[in-house]
Structure 1
Amino acid sequence: MPILRATLVAGLPAPAAAALLTLAGRPEPAGPLIGVLAGLLLRGSPAAAALATLWGGAWAVLATELAEIETADAMGSWLEWPGWPGWAVGAVLAYALAARHTPGGVRGVPGGVRTSRPPVAAVTVAAVAGAVLAAGQLAAARAAGLTLWTDYHPYDGPGWYRDLTSALWYPAASVVLASVLAGRLRGGRESWAAVPVAAWLGAALAGGPVQYAQALGVTVEPPGVALLASLAGGGIGAAAGVLALRHPGAAAGLVGFVALRTLQALDRGPGEWPEPLEVIADPLLLVTPFVVVAVVAARTARRAARRGPGLVAGLAGPLLIWSVYAAVGPRAYDHSTQSGPYAQALLTALLAPAVALAAAQIAVLTGRSGSSGDATSHGTSTRRSP
């Protein structure tokens, strides 16, 4: 069963590989190595392979922290710079390897239908939307004080790594939204590779220079790090965009978590909310992710009459957020505005599979009982004819 194999990949090899590589001094390749393993073990189930890799990253961090082996920051670095999306790269490798063995139809294409060339309208809309959303979010975040790009102050500074995480997040969110939007156009879903790549290029061309210009005032790190983070974030969004186009239920989960993460950013932004809202904001934002996971998983599973699609749809959003935070790490010594959201992303990623699986299973069972009841009330039988 894909669910059992995915659980085994995430729960055993991922923490072991992360611990061994950390002891060897180079934990960064853990994500790609687990991605290759997941792709080979989950052949024919590309979505399960990709999500198992990302979930394995969450378990790797938890297990190594419990063993007092610090990997969280180290796995989110490359060449001494944070922003290496190792687990996201592993998820892409897992998806690509597992998709090569997809049975039936044309490999990797929903329904076995392949268009002769990508539809110009869908690709164009994806590129333009990616550019507009990326540049717009970056400008709005700077104007609202959500992104400051200033040097770190050891007592009350805003934390440079928090802004670096945003440098990954805004392009990722832009590419996801642009891919979902373009996927609604004629031929958009069938062009599940061309549309996210076009959105990624649009976000990179528009958002990359903006990120670079905003980070010019920082002296602790070169502004090129912000540019690389922008490109990496767009790549994470493109991978999620592929999942959204190939699995329609996942699109709802991804969009829901993009909106939720925006609300969380506003809650942590400068200024105080009115007191009645301040009292309920934090508990509400802590519970809401699991509500979104349950609703998306149940809705998708009921429509598909299977729990697998519901599980994929429910996990897509939490693992998108996690893959962004895992690329930088908690940086607890830097500022709570980085370590706090990181911890929440980790907790949500770890618990989301249980919530999604339970919601999907209940939706399938209630859907079957409802169908059986309807058939009985109309004097018909649900037993298949021989």
Structure 2
Amino acid sequence: MNIDIIAGARPNFMKIAPIISAIKEKSEAGFNISYRLIHTGQHYDKKMSGDFFEQLGIPEPNINLEAGGGTQAEQTAAIMVRYEKVLMESKPDLVLVVGDVTSTMACAIVAQKLHVKVAHVEAGIRSGDWTMPEEINRMVTDSITNYFFTTTEIANDSLRKTGVTDDRIFFVGNTMIDTLLKNRTKFIKPSIWDELGLQAGSYIVMTLHRPANVDEEGKLKELLQEIIDNSENLPLIFPVHPRTAKILQGLGVSSERLHMVEPLGYLEFNYLVEKAKAVVTDSGGITEETTVMGVPCMTLRDNTERPETITIGTNELLGTNPKAIKPAFGKLFKGEWKKGGIPELWDGKTGERIINALLKLES
């Protein structure tokens, strides 16, 4: 069984690492399985991609489509045109896509049009928000997927409602958590730890990048000011996404406690998250990691495609109204934040389950 594994953006790399590891183990054990790693080039900043390959032990891609940059449509088109050429020369038995980025949707479409089956890892999650490009990517990908690998029973139910039969749904858990658990003992103290004199439980980590939060300068300024005003005297560590960095220039928000730093590698960033008092974010993936590490998480979004991080985990959905920040910090500093638990099958063995399922399908 020959599998094309598609990766194009930072979250993909965390999700494919356990799958590649499981394929290698099965291959070494004598199973007929191999893979070709296709990097679409959707993220081309070294801190957003290259570091992940090095730190997570992912081999160099077999093929790099180098399709970064441009608008949503331009990027989708570039990936599709270049991946089609790859498949015209050599088809795998299966194309495996992960998550909800442009690369996932684009390569799934190309594969199906050339009659190659598609497996979608992290299938079935939904926010219900069609203003998010990721939601469109999820819906399109799942509408043409053959095999669905899911993170929760919520995702299973979502797929069933669209007519997907149970024989095509595989509840396997979360590969992102496989990567987290495997690397938790390898986290690296970033240089800013000593430079700023940080102490465990005595700082806040922030990440903001979604258009709803950062595209309007006035809104972003108000969000940052509310965080600064209500975080007591704790340092605020803000690894700045390239998209956000451009908008922050000239915004005029400043505090001696607000430390904007370059994007961090996976091991450095999670070192900070694990020891933080809390995380303020608009990222979906980070809410999963904070749930497993038991770190309070405030999500500045009006919806989430990962409701289990709220119903089971340590995450709370604050919305995008800056006025919601003060009461949330009040709860945190009073020691009233929920403890949370870990969702079913988020146990570090998801990659293995995925490959076992694919081998059974092939037999």
TM-score band, normalised by the shorter chain? Answer: under 0.3
Output the TM-score relative to the length of structure 2.
0.27
More strand by proportion, 1 or 2? Answer: 2
Give the number of the structure whose residues are more often helix, by fraction: 1
